[in-house]
Amino acid sequence: AQTIHQWPVAEIKAVGSPLSLGCTIKGKSSPNLYWYWQATGGTLQQLFYSITVGQVESVVQLNLSASRPKDDQFILSTEKLLLSHSGFYLCAWSLRALYFGSGTRLTVL
């Protein structure tokens, strides 16, 4: 069975501080991987996708970056957080249907 583990569960960070969020997918070889962001009460905004190790495509520019260092790992990061980065971050994988991790709730103060 496939599992997706996302970390951390929640973060409270200061404006200007760095951030690193991660997820690991087990049980599937070479899935497509995605990062999504959701504002409180809002719809889902796709940030990045990756179809292979080492290749990441950006969908929107939000002063964030993503990397796929291993086939089963996807990292979201920034060197300087903004207040507007607050929200709910979700990692997801697909081969056809899309499956989400449990998310990271980020508060930037």
Please tell me whether residue 68 adopts helix, strand or coil conformation. strand
CB of 27 to another protein, least distance (A): 16
Interaction of residue 1 with another protein, rule CB under 8 A: no
39 counts as binding another protein under rule CB under 8 A: no
* Among positions 7, 13, 58, 100, the unique one binding another protein when judged by CB under 8 A: 100
- Would you count residue 46 as binding another protein (CB under 8 A)? yes
Burial of 27 (0-12, 13-18, 19+ CB in 10 A): exposed
Q: How far is the CB of 99 from another protein (least distance, A)?
A: 6
By C-beta, is 18 or 107 nearer to another protein? Answer: 107
Using an 8 Å Cβ cutoff, are 45 and 89 in contact? Answer: no
- Is 57 one of the binding residues for another protein (CB under 8 A)? yes
Q: Which residues contact 84 (CB under 8 A, 6 or more apart)?
A: 62, 108
